Amino acid sequence: MNNNKVQAIVEKVKELVQRGNVSRIVVRKGERVLLNTPVNVGIVGGVGPHAGLDLTRKLFDHTRAEADQEHLPVMLYSFPDRIGERPAFLLGKTADNPGEAIGDIMAELARAGATVIGMPCNTAHWFYDDLCLRTHLPVLHMLRLTADHLERTGVNTVGLLATDGTIQTGIYENLLSGRGIRVIKPDAPGQRQVMSAIYDGVKAGNLGAIDVAALRCTLDAMIAQGAECFVLGCTELPIVFAQCELPYPVADPTQILAEAAVSFAGYPVKKM
């Protein structure tokens, strides 16, 4: 087979994967099978480690399957020691660009056989365009998927809960305002409570350190300002809300990403 034909096959495979809803790619020449591979979901873990596990669990939870063999193939690469602190870089507190390490991990996932990538870190999506230049694989954009979800549900005003870095970038506000959705953010004391829940709670492995009463006061104040639901704009926050049993309406980007990845890979989505 000459190089032109090989390249044509490669481009066709890329086109199919980019289109999504493909669970397996089979290339035949007559009766001979040249390629037979499933669509493998690659997860950039370690941003943070618990968030990678949460996405992995939600991938399985949201796949309609009745046996082990009916679940989609998933590759979780969790190397937290290699990836610098995302908010600290965006706030100018460190020169260690985490995008470099994330790009390297995406390349490793591609070499290992991943065919689509999910990144369970809201702040890291600030590097999304640069990261896409470093891989030929489709990278699902969790924040755009979340904005699309909110637009479909008809929400007019949301409360944004996120790291200082994510809020400073304005990435969510830009995506949501373009869809006519107003964004309410916590006041300064409330933002400190959100950051404490993320860093002193989940990232430190000490959920008991979360001041649940103070956090609820912050959420109640945002509802009083008109928030119809909360965007859990840090992938540690779904863990906080679940473990602390916070009874508020939310848009969970990790869950939205999981459902999108399951659908993209051609598997039936189970709504919960």
Q: Is 217 a catalytic residue?
A: no
Which of the residues 132, 217, 229, 234 is marked catalytic?
234
Residues 6+ apart with CB under 8 A from 250: 229, 230, 231, 232, 238, 241
Angle between helices 253-264 and 142-153 (to 10 degrees): 100
Q: Is 234 a catalytic residue?
A: yes
Q: Do 35 and 16 contact (CB within 8 A), yes or no? A: no
According to DSSP, the residues that pair with 28 across neighbouring strands are 33
Which of the residues 121, 132, 217, 229 is marked catalytic?
121
d(CA 104, CA 188): 36
Report, as residue numbers or ranges, the catalytic residues: 121, 234
